[in-house]
């Protein structure tokens, strides 16, 4: 039977991570549970270390260098001890049958490199989306169009009528990927601190001709970006998002000089608007 290792990154929120590990530690489907503390400034590592027994391993990053960096520590630790790696946020509710079903998808379909469940988040059901082009990323920076334009990258719901649906990208909060595929793409790109990990991985898979799928028969609950919201302001999150966007557009979409200029120009305009909006929010 194929072995699964799960990687969970924690930052300054050991109670939530502890509860999550406690909820999955008896799942027979999981051969290894690896927790990576991303250089928390609280007592997270000390507390989580207490769970380090049997198939649970707790590691500590040498610095808080981002989500992908933390995940890569866990991925490298697992090495070739497992066949599939499950990347998971700690704010997830998942039943063991979902993990077993995703494993079954990979076992029975060698053409699938990555598979993810449907995700319930803030009352909305989320699945996959199309990889954007440079012009799409520029449009995404136009705040007045952002909400409606972002949805145009999503597939029509009719696409999800079958058990498995091929997509370009999936949510990064919970997905299962073949270990040998991660070897081929060089694990996750940890040049971005946060955001755009999904599009970057999807582009890496596309470059080597590998496919991602959504299993429409499975569902998890994602409680949302609780940790992110707790540690970063709206402005900080926006700047991180746009730094990651510029990296993705430059190195994965190979934007030319004019396109990068357009992206940076629109970014500066929308950043100014974000400052203004936040200023009036604080006034209220």
Domains and CATH numbers, the chain: 4-283 (3.90.550.10)
Provide the angle, in degrees to the nearest 10, between the axes of the packed helices 234-251 and 197-207: 10
Please give the distance of CA 84 from its chain centroid, rounded to a whole number.
16
CA 218 to chain centre: 18
Within 13 Å and on the Cβ side, how many CA atoms surround 64?
A: 10
CB 79 within 8 A of CB 187: no
Locate all alpha helices (DSSP H) within 25-122, ordered by sequence: 44-48, 67-78, 96-108
Residue 242: DSSP 8-state: H
CA atoms in the 13 A half-sphere facing the CB of 223: 14
Going by C-alpha positions, the residue among 11, 15, 119, 18 that lies closest to residue 60 is: 11
Q: What is the pLDDT along the chain (284 residues), one digit of tens a residue?
A: 899 999 999 999 999 999 999 999 999 999 999 999 999 999 999 999 999 999 999 999 999 999 999 999 999 999 999 999 999 999 999 999 999 999 999 999 999 999 999 999 988 999 999 999 999 999 888 765 555 657 789 999 999 999 999 999 999 999 999 999 999 999 999 999 999 999 999 999 999 999 999 999 999 999 876 556 666 787 888 889 999 999 999 999 999 999 999 999 998 988 888 888 777 777 66
pTM: 0.93
Q: Name, in order, each residue with C-beta under 8 angstroms of 129's C-beta and a sequence gap of 6 or more.
A: 153, 154, 155, 167, 168, 169
């Amino acid at each position: 039977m194929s072995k699964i290792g799960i990687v969970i990154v924690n930052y300054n929120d050991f109670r939530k991570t502890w509860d999550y590990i406690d909820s999955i530690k008896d799942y027979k489907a999981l051969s290894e549970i690896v927790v990576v503390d991303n250089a928390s400034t609280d007592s997270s590592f000390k507390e989580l270390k207490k769970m380090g027994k049997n198939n649970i391993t707790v590691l500590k990053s040498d610095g808080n260098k981002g989500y992908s960096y933390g995940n890569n520590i866990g991925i490298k630790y697992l090495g070739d001890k497992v066949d599939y790696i499950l990347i998971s946020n700690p704010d997830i509710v998942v039943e063991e049958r979902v993990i077993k079903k995703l494993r079954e998808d990979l076992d029975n379909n060698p053409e699938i490199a990555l598979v993810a469940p449907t995700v319930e988040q803030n009352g909305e059901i989320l699945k996959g989306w199309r990889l954007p082009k440079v012009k799409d990323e520029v449009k995404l920076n136009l705040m007045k169009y952002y909400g409606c334009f972002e949805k145009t990258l999503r597939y029509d719901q009719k696409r999800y009528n079958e058990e498995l649906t091929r997509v370009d990208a999936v949510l990064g909060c919970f997905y299962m990927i073949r270990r040998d595929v991660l070897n081929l793409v060089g694990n996750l790109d940890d040049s971005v601190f946060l955001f755009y990990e999904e599009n970057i991985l999807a582009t890496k898979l596309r470059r080597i001709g590998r496919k991602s799928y959504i299993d429409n028969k499975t569902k998890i609950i994602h409680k949302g970006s609780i940790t992110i919201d707790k540690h970063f302001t709206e402005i900080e999150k926006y700047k991180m998002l746009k730094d990651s966007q510029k990296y993705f557009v430059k190195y994965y979409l190979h934007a030319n000089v004019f396109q990068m200029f357009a992206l940076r120009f629109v970014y500066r305009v929308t950043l100014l608007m974000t400052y203004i909006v936040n200023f009036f929010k604080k006034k209220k």
